[in-house]
Each structure stands twice: as C-alpha cells, then as structure tokens.
C-alpha cells in the first residue's frame, strides 16, 4: 500500500510516534520512536538487540499512533508489518536522515542502530 499524501506529510515532519509490538507472551509493548519515510515504507530506528527489535524479528506486525506536531488533535493510526531490516552504511544513511530532522545533525555512533522498514497495511488520519 502506498502512503497517502497526508500521512507522508505528517511522517516527514517531526512527530513522536508510538510503536506497538507484541511481546513473546502476546502482551502489547509500546514505545515512543522517531519516525520517517523511505519510498513507500515507514522507517524507525532502534538498537539491533532492543526489546522492540527482538519483538519485530519474531512477529513483524506493528501498530503506530502519532499526533502531528502542527495539529496534535488529529490522530494518525497506521498498521503494518516490518518487511526489511537495513543496517551498515545504508542503515546509517537513513538513521542520519531521521536524526537530522529531529536534532539537526547525524546520530551519535556510540550505539549500534538498525532500521526497520514497515509496509503500511492500514492508515487513517483523524477520527474514523
């Protein structure tokens, strides 16, 4: 599914998204994340051995919720699945692009980072 223009506009801004994954026992796990786009994929960065990375490698389904910085009363809800992991130089290129929009420069190299590419399956803006 392609990202709608409105969802892409919001994701390319600087919202804080909440990423929900599934823990091994089936319970939900939700964490705030920086977010962006890469083509028609949604991208989030994380540590390669983080709880969310382990959850997503076992079960790639995700739910994302966020509020646009310019209108926090219009919820954006996305469901999808991780279809690819990007690391190495290609991963750092995406990480730095996302970090630059949030903090104005590249991400520190003090920690390893990988990028999850999420294929959206459902997306909505506003109450529906």
Any domain includes 128 = no
CATH number of the domain enclosing 45: 2.30.110.10
Q: Examine residue 35 and state whether it is found in any structural domain, yes or no.
A: yes
pTM of this structure:
0.93
Token couple for 107: 């991400």
What pLDDT was estimated at residue 28? 96
The secondary structure of residue 73, as a DSSP letter, is T
Residue 48 lies in a domain: yes
Kindly state whether residue 81 falls inside one of the protein's structural domains.
Answer: yes
φ, ψ for residue 94, nearest 5 deg:
-70, -45
Residue 108, pLDDT > 70, answer: yes
Cβ-proximal residues to 19 (8 Å cutoff; 6+ apart), any chain: 30, 31, 32, 33, 44, 52, 62, 63, 64
pLDDT score of 128 more than 70:
no
> Looking at the domain assignment, is residue 12 inside a domain?
yes
The residue segments making up the domain with residue 88 are 5-123
Domain count, the chain: 1
Residue 72 lies in a domain: yes
Find the DSSP H helices in the chain.
5-11, 51-58, 88-103
Are the C-beta atoms of 19 and 33 separated by less than 8 Å? yes
Q: Look at the block and give the residue holding tokens 């892409």.
A: 8
Q: Is residue 58 part of a domain?
A: yes
């Amino acid at each position: 599914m392609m990202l709608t223009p409105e969802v892409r506009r919001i994701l390319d801004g600087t919202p804080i998204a909440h990423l929900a994954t599934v823990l091994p026992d089936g319970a939900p796990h939700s964490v705030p994340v920086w977010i962006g786009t890469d083509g028609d994929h949604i991208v989030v960065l994380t540590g390669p051995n983080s709880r969310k990375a382990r959850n997503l490698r076992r079960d790639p389904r995700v739910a994302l919720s966020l509020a646009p910085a310019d209108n926090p009363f219009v919820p954006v809800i996305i469901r999808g699945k991780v279809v690819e992991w990007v690391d190495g130089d290609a991963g750092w290129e995406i990480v730095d692009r996302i970090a630059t929009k949030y903090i104005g420069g590249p991400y520190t190299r003090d920690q390893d980072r990988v990028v999850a590419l999420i294929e959206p399956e459902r997306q909505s803006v506003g109450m529906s």
